[in-house]
Amino acid sequence: MNDKDKAAQLKAHKRLATGLFMLMLALYIVMVWLTKTRPAVWVGYVQAFSEAAMIGALADWFAVTALFHHPLGIPIPHTNLIEKGKKSIGNNLGTFVVSNFLTAGNIRPYIQKLSVSAYAAQWLEQPKNKGLLVTEITRMLADILHKVDDRSISAFIARKGSALLADVKLNVIVGNALHYFLDKGSHEEIVTLLARKIKAFISENEALVREKVQGESYFFIPKFVDNKLAEKITSGLAGYFEEIEQDPTHRIRAEISTQLYLFVEKLRTDPRWEEEFRRLSGSMLSSGKLEEYAAAAWQSLKSTLLHELASEGSALSSYFSKTLEELAGNLKADPVLQQKIDGWIRHTAYKYILRNATQVGALISNTVGNWQGAELSRKLELEVGKDLQFIRINGTIVGGLVGLLIYALTELIG
């Protein structure tokens, strides 16, 4: 019910109480006239009733009005009590709420009834609610990304990247990576490829070998001998590299693997290589370049995230939806999880309410104390004024009955 409706109800009850008073006034006037013109025994009784009823009505009207206003606008002492005592009212109301409502004994039964997990599971099971939550999550994340300071994020990434590079030993990382590939035998493919390429090169350049042999031969050795020797050298070398290519257990392969392992170990442990990699990373990632890379990386990530958040059915939205669906299923099917979540919520709510009970009292006290006096009176009168009008009505009736009783006793004694 809004304030307009409350004001209309208050006005109607005031009219009722005032109308009853006017009725008693009219009845009194009639009884006084009858006393002078047509005296009768019953007239005295009715006159006593109406007279006492008017007194009761006026007394209670004064009492009720004095709570919220000065009666008839006259600043009579101890009237307009609400406006004058708003500070003490606020303090007393805050203390009353804290002392009678926010106590451990009062809130514990309500806290123990909290069952948020079951309600959350039922709510999330509804496709409409799940879609609404996903939409709100994506909208909130997109809003955060739009409002974030890009330069601060880029500077943060650059600082963390610089600190990471300073702490990381690149020679160890590279060495471990090479050791991993060696253990997998990935280098064997390279050896095979090199052997094949060298064999092909030798076979395709036999004329070059012949030329070299003739150039180094003596003048008295026949040319056909040099040619035969060049042919043997070419075929021998080609055959040797073909053996390396075809035989996975060739001793050259084993020797190459051994030397590579030794190189990797030296790469990981030799301080000279550590310094070389540090100098290399420093030259490639200077302060300006690192900030430039960080800014580019952040812009790329931000653009991708915004695109994903703005697209219906995107991978990110599907992930949120699937996660919420799994959460709803777990909440519904796992009583242990329900107990854990509800227990944590109950414990947290219990502690939070008790810890902040004083602040609640202070909030009530300050809120009421900061209201304008007339505004506080108006609010309270709208809330309880309608019921207080029944005091006037009851005062009229009870006053009349008391007056009638006194008159009857007086007549009896007389």
CA-CA distance, 247 to 194, in Å (whole number)?
A: 14
Using CA atoms, how far apart are residues 226 and 213, in angstroms rounded to an integer?
Answer: 6
Q: Rounded CA gap, 31 and 259, in Å?
A: 132
Among 408, 388, 395, 409, which residue's Cα sits nearest to residue 54? 395
Eight-class DSSP state of 248: T
* Whole-angstrom distance, CA of residue 402 vs CA of residue 49: 8
Residue in this structure with the two tokens 């280098």, named with its chain if needed: 187
Nearest to 364 by CA among 346, 376, 374: 376
pLDDT at 26 (0 to 100): 92
CA distance 309 to 143: 10
Looking at residue 2, its pLDDT comes to 75
Residues with Cβ within 8 Å of 284's Cβ and at least 6 positions away in sequence, in order, are none
**Per-residue CA distances from 146 to 83, 139, 162, 278, 306 (Å):** 49, 10, 26, 37, 9
List, as own/partner pairs, every contact residues 29-36 make where C-beta atoms lie below 8 angstroms and the sequence separation is at least 24, other chains included.
Answer: none
Judge if pTM exceeds 0.75: no
Spans in the chain with pLDDT lower than 50: none
pLDDT at 22: 92
What's the burial of 162, exposed, middle or buried (CB within 10 Å: 0-12/13-18/19+)?
middle
CA dihedral 104→106→107→113, nearest 10 degrees, is 120
Any idea which residue has 């009062």 for tokens? 106
* CA pair distance 67, 383, nearest whole angstrom: 13
